[in-house]
Amino acid sequence: MNIKKSVVLAVASVFVLALAGCGVSHTVHAPDNTVQSMAAIEMPSIIETPDDYEDIVTLPDVLPEGWYEFLHRAPDEIIDDPNVALAMLIAGNERFVYDALMPRNTTLADRDINATGQWPFASIVTCADSRVAPELYFDQKVGDLFVVRNAGNFADETAIGSLEFSVAVLGSRLIVVVGHTDCGAIIHAHGGTTGLPTALQNTLGRIAELIPYATDVEEATREGVMSSVEILRANEVVIEHGALVVGAVFDIETGRVIFIEDLPY
């Protein structure tokens, strides 16, 4: 047995023990208030994931009582621990990777709550690319994520202002900047494309300023993400409210969101 499998099994054991220890019944409440058996909901990913992120993400040592709320939550449930929010995103992305999406219809009851306000548990900065939709790749519902999208997923003035609102007013305590593979904006910003319409050329120019050291597109993608992460970590509103800012790259081919911390060089 290799080390990775040992870690996976150890983590799996923790999950099983936590489940047994906290007395949670093996049922979850689907959005339509029907009850489904756990066996009917495949989520192999949840016990296969944490070791992939052990250097980056601090998952709770013991899952909180009612851990299945990682899968289901009412729109007005407040998640004020950024690590719990991150674990919820990781669990959702694993469901996406394994084609094990939850039935996530927004019900009449959900809409009644949504009509009274919003309580997004995470804020996402991601690309405008049509293949990169955070509510889908994180398997979340309407009201769960506060999303800022632009070509190249960078923290420009509009994005920063929007995120200050989500942190200071809506109470979001986690910001994730998500770049992606095969990003046209990064490819052209890195390649120094010229002769484009003015606004587009200006956008690519601002992205290029964030990726001065990258030698290829993959590095440029990660450097762009982490440059925006650093900008947001230095933001006074983010600091004041203790929000966690992390970077990631969404792989269009595999569907997996890979969390990054350091530049690859």
List residues near Zn ion by CB under 5 A. 127, 129, 183, 185
**Between 94 and 129, CB nearer to Zn ion:** 129
Q: Which residue has the tokens 């990781």?
A: 90
**Between 102 and 186, CB nearer to Zn ion:** 186
With a CB cutoff of 8 Å and minimum separation 6, the contacts of 218 are 264
Closest approach, Cβ 163 to Zn ion, in A, equals 19
**Between 164 and 182, CB nearer to Zn ion:** 182
**Between 143 and 247, CB nearer to Zn ion:** 247
Q: Quick one: which of 107, 69, 65, 120 has its CA closest to 91?
A: 69
Backbone angles phi and psi of 55, in degrees to 5: -85, -10
HSE at residue 53, side-chain half, CA atoms within 13 A, is 28
Closest approach, Cβ 63 to Zn ion, in A, equals 34
Closest approach, Cβ 131 to Zn ion, in A, equals 9
Closest approach, Cβ 88 to Zn ion, in A, equals 24
Side chain identity at residue 205, one-letter code = G
- H or E segment to which residue 47 belongs: helix 45-48
- Tokens of residue 237, six digits: 């509103």
Closest approach, Cβ 4 to Zn ion, in A, equals 31
**Between 45 and 221, CB nearer to Zn ion:** 221
With a CB cutoff of 8 Å and minimum separation 6, the contacts of 35 are 27, 28, 29
Length of the chain: 265
**Between 127 and 145, CB nearer to Zn ion:** 127
Closest approach, Cβ 57 to Zn ion, in A, equals 24
Given a contact cutoff of 8 angstroms between Cβ atoms, the answer to whether 82 and 174 are in contact is: yes
Given a contact cutoff of 8 angstroms between Cβ atoms, the answer to whether 225 and 178 are in contact is: yes
HSE at residue 196, side-chain half, CA atoms within 13 A, is 13
**Between 129 and 223, CB nearer to Zn ion:** 129
Closest approach, Cβ 189 to Zn ion, in A, equals 10
